[in-house]
Structure 1
C-alpha cells in the first residue's frame, strides 16, 4: 500500500522559501543579462560581438539557468536536498558573474549572496556548508589562467579571508536570530500558559467545584440575560430541582456520601439537558435549570426524564435506598417579572415537596389546586 507523505508546517514553509529564493535567482540572472547588453551597447566594451555573445552572455546564462532548473527539479522530487541544490545554484550564478566581470573588484561581493541566503534557514552548519561551496567555486574559477593572472598575491589570500569573515558574520546573525526565536517561543508559551490559567480561573469562578455545574452567582447572571431575551420573544422555562430528604442522608451516612449523591444527581442533569440549556447548583441540594428554544411540553418531558432517571439510580453507599427529587417548573410570561417567575417556580417546588415528593409540579398544577380549593 502506498503511504503518501503529508508535509508538516515546517516543510511547507521551507519549501516556500526555497521557491522564493529560486525566483529571486532568475531575477539576478535576468538583471545581469540586461546590464551586460546595456554596457555593450552604450559603453566602451573591449570585447568583440562574437566573444560577448558566447563568453559573456551565452555560457554564463546557460550555466546559471541550468543550475536553477536543476535546483527546482530537486525541490519538487527530493525536497530534503532542496537547500543544498538551491545553494549550489546560487554558487554557480555568483561565480559565473564574478568570472565574467573579474575586472570589477566590487563584483566579488556577490559571492556573499549564497551565504546570506542561507541565513534565512537559521542553521549554522548550513551557513558553513555554503561557505565551503564558495571556496570550491573560487578554486574552480582560479583554473582560468586569465582570471588567475589578474589577481595579485594579496587577492589570492584576501578572497578566502573575505568569505570566512562574511560567513562568520552570517553565523552571528543566525545565532542572534535563533536566540530571538527562542525568546519569542518562550514568550508565546508563557502567554499560552497565562491564557490557560485565566480560562481555568474563569471557569472555576463560574462553576461549582463539586458538581461542575454553574454556581449560583453565574446562574443569576445568565437568568438576568435569559429574561431579557424572553422579553424579546424567545421561549424560556425555569425549573428548580431539589433532592428529597437530603438532610437525613447527611445525618445518617455523612457528608462524604452526601457529596457523592450530589455528584451523581448533577451528572444525570448534565447528561439530559440540551446544549442550549443552562444548569446550575443553586443551593446545597437544589439545582436550577434554564431551558430555551422548546415548548412547555418539551421542557416538562425533559425535567420528568431527569426525575425518573434519578429515581432509578442505584447507590451502594445507601444500603439499597433510593434517591428522589422534587421539581418545580414554570414558563416565562410577559406579565411576570424575573423575581416573580422565580418565586412561582419556588412555590411549585414547595408544593411538590409538601404533596408527596418525587414529582414535578408546574404552574398549571398550582392553578388547578387553587380552583379545587375554591
Structure 2
C-alpha cells in the first residue's frame, strides 16, 4: 500500500470522491421525497433520526475521513477512498433491503478501483466487499432474511465474476496502453527521421548552408511576405569567389573544397540570425537579408568581403581569396526574376570592374 499517486490518479481520486458525495446527496433526496410523497411505514422521528440523518452523517464522516487521509497521507488516499466507498455501499444496502437489486451496490468500490488500473487495488476492493457481504448477513437479520439460499451463493459469485472481469479489463487496458506507446514511439522516430531527411535535402553537405532548391523556397516565401507587408522589405545578395577556377586548376579540388567550406563558415558567422544563406551553385552563394535596412545589408556584405580578403590559406600557399558581390533591394514594382537578375548583374559588374568589391547599384 505504498504506491505513489500520479497527477492523473490524484485528479481521478478527487472525481471519485465527488461522485460519492453525489450518491449520498441523491440518496438523501430520494429518501426524503419517498417519505413526504409516498406511503411510508416508519414514523417521522424514526425516519429522520434512524433512516435519513444518522446514515447520511455516517457516510459523510467516512468521506471526510478519506479526505483527511488524502491530505495527510496521499499515498493511502485511494485505499481510504475504497474503504469509504465500501462503508457507503453497506449503508445503502442496509437501508434499502426491500429493493431486490440493491446488493449490486456492493460493486461500487470495485468499479471505482478499475479507474486506477491497478490490480492490487481491485483485489483490495473485492476483499472489502466480500467482508461487507458477510457482515451484512451476520449483523443485520432483516437483510439476511430477505435473501434466499440462492442469493447467499449467487451474490458472492457475482462479486467474484465482476472482480475477474474488472481485472481482465485492466489487463487489456495495459496491453492497449503499451501498443499505443509503441505506436507513438514509432511515429516519433519516423517524424525524427523525416525531419533529418528533410534537413539533409535542404542543406548543402559541403558548406552546411541551404542548397539552391531550398533557397528558391525561401525566396518565394520572402517575396510573398514582402508583397503582404511592403514596409518590411529584404535584400538579395549574390556572392562569388574570385578566380575560383584557377584555384581548382592550380591547387586541386580538395583545396577548392576547403576554400568553399571556410567561406561558407565565414558567411554563417557574419550574417544576422534572420538571414537565409545558401550555396547557389559551384562557388556562388545567395543570401536573403530579411527585414534589413540598406546600411545593415551593405555592412554585412562588406564585413564578409573584408574578412575573406584578410584570411591566408595554407592550401593556397598562404594566399588569400577575394569575393565579389551584388546587392539588390526588394521593390513591390518589380518581379521576383527581375530582382534576381539585378543582383546577378551587379555581381558581374563587380567582377568586370576589378573584383573584390560589392556593387549595390548599376
8 Å CA contact 1:15, 1:75 repeated in 2: no
**1:172 alignment partner in structure 2:** 168
Further displaced range: 259-268 or 145-154: 145-154
Q: CA deviation at 1:126?
A: 1.7
- Aligned equivalent of 2:298, options 282, 297, 300: 300
Q: In 2, distance between residues paired with 1:150 and 1:341?
A: 95
Further displaced range: 71-80 or 168-177: 71-80
**1:202 alignment partner in structure 2:** 198
Q: In 2, distance between residues paired with 1:144 and 1:25?
A: 24
- Aligned equivalent of 1:157, options 134, 153, 156: 153
- Aligned equivalent of 2:326, options 321, 328, 338: 328
List per-residue Cα deviations over 1:22-63 (Å, max 9, x = no partner).
111111111112222233334443434333333322332122
Question: What's the Cα RMSD here?
Answer: 2.8
- Aligned equivalent of 2:341, options 340, 343, 352: 343
8 Å CA contact 1:19, 1:72 repeated in 2: no
- Aligned equivalent of 2:307, options 301, 306, 309: 309
List per-residue Cα deviations over 1:282-312 (Å, max 9, x = no partner).
0112110122322222110011122233344
TM-score by length of structure 1 reads 0.83
**2:283 alignment partner in structure 1:** 285
**2:44 alignment partner in structure 1:** 49
**1:369 alignment partner in structure 2:** none
8 Å CA contact 1:291, 1:299 repeated in 2: yes
List per-residue Cα deviations over 1:339-360 (Å, max 9, x = no partner).
3433332233234334443332
Aligned residues: 356
Question: CA 1:25/1:361 → structure 2, altered by over 3 Å: closer, same or farther?
Answer: same
**2:181 alignment partner in structure 1:** 185
Q: In 2, distance between residues paired with 1:361 and 1:347?
A: 9
Further displaced range: 175-184 or 18-27: 175-184
Q: In 2, distance between residues paired with 1:56 and 1:306?
A: 91
Q: In 2, distance between residues paired with 1:163 and 1:183?
A: 30
TM-score by length of structure 2 reads 0.86
Q: CA deviation at 1:111?
A: 0.9
Question: CA 1:145/1:137 → structure 2, altered by over 3 Å: closer, same or farther?
Answer: closer
The 3-state SS of whatever aligns with 1:279 is: strand
Further displaced range: 320-329 or 168-177: 320-329
The 3-state SS of whatever aligns with 1:282 is: strand
- Aligned equivalent of 1:39, options 25, 28, 34: 34
Q: How does 1:1-374 map to 2 (within 5 A)?
A: 11-146=6-141, 147-230=143-226, 233=230, 234-251=232-249, 253-313=251-311, 320-333=318-331, 336-363=334-361, 366=362
Uncovered stretches (5+) of structure 2, i.e. residues with no partner: none
List per-residue Cα deviations over 1:192-221 (Å, max 9, x = no partner).
333333333333333323333222122223
The 3-state SS of whatever aligns with 1:121 is: coil
Question: CA 1:126/1:263 → structure 2, altered by over 3 Å: closer, same or farther?
Answer: farther
Q: CA deviation at 1:77?
A: 3.4
